[in-house]
Amino acid sequence: MANTTGGLVMLKEMLSSLPPSEKKIATYIISHPDETLSLTANELGKRSATSGAAVIRLCKSLNLKGFPELKLRLAGDLQKTTVEGIHDIKPNESATSIINKMTNNSILTLRETIELLSKEQLEKAVDVLINAERIHFIGVGASSIIAQDAQQKFLRINKTAYAFADIHMATTLVATAKANDVVVGISFSGETPEIAKVLEIANEKQAHTISLTKYGQSIVSDQAEIKLYTSATKEPTFRSAATLSRMAQLHVIDILFMCVASARYDETVKHIDETRKAVHYLKTGKK
């Protein structure tokens, strides 16, 4: 089942990269979302001085199945409770104000991420992760922290997982990947050349490839067999370690982990118990 929100987010984030005719349509929809719901593709084409065919092309550019899905998402957007946009902090701001701003920012980011996360692509990712012999999580900079978090989670359920902070070490391992390995490239911008190249190497080895980027076309997602997107919400100017993008990426990793864990529930519980007991022994000396 398709997501029922996220149409406006998709249009706004893709606006600058769309061809001229599709950009006209997107601009019109953003300005007249209510009116768009009652229009056919041909009518929308006329209102935006383009054509019905251009409307269909726009839907394809948004990775949607057609104009009805776009209208469904727009209708859902219009029914949502309004949430304030992203707010940056100011000099000498009170703790209460910062708490409220950061909480609002996080809620908005997570909501937008769920709107952009394709259930079909998610299910494909879960399937290859379940059957993977080895999983390679690759990230540079702040995204390497997400890769390490993913490694820790999947190791606990007895999956062979790697997350090297050194991109050269990661590349060396991926160079020996097999067809049933999975390489997950993590890059918020989607424009990290090292991640794109590692995924390219993985494709040459016929391994499964998954990208985790912000919404939209990028050099990283172009190299991925399975594409997962997070909110494209822009970070506040004053930020620390890519705060919002990090939260969105962690959220998707948590969803992937829980889906894999649920599909192998009994086995997962067994491994979680075993790892918990081992850590408890380290702390207390008691088995």
Among the ranges given (58-62, 111-115, 205-209, 254-258), the one the predictor scored with the smallest mean pLDDT: 111-115
- pLDDT tens column, 37-85: 999 999 999 999 999 999 999 999 998 989 999 999 999 888 875 555 6
Q: What is the DSSP string of 155-174?
A: HTTT--EE--SSHHHHHHHH
**Do 47 and 128 lie in a common domain?**
no
Is residue 97 one of the residues assigned to a domain? no
The parent domain of residue 31 ranges over: 7-79
User: Do 50 and 145 share a structural domain?
Assistant: no
The model's pLDDT over 144-192, given as tens digits with 9 standing for 90+, comes to 999 999 999 999 999 999 999 899 999 999 999 999 999 999 999 999 9
Say which CATH number the domain at 219 has.
Answer: 3.40.50.10490
What is the DSSP track for the chain? ---SS-HHHHHHHHGGGS-HHHHHHHHHHHH-HHHHTT--HHHHHHHTTS-HHHHHHHHHHTT-S-HHHHHHHHHHHHHSPP--------TT--HHHHHHHHHHHHHHHHHHHHHH--HHHHHHHHHHHHT-S-EEEEE-THHHHHHHHHHHHHHTTT--EE--SSHHHHHHHHTT--TT-EEEEE-SSS--HHHHHHHHHHHHTT-EEEEEEESS--HHHHT-SEEEEE--PPPPSS-SSSHHHHHHHHHHHHHHHHHHHHHTHHHHHHHHHHHHHHHHHHHHS--
| Shared domain check, 255 and 137 | yes
Q: Band of the pLDDT at 241, cuts 50, 70, 90?
A: very low
The verdict on residue 104 lying in a domain is no
Residues 75 and 126 in one domain: no
25 pLDDT higher than 70 = yes
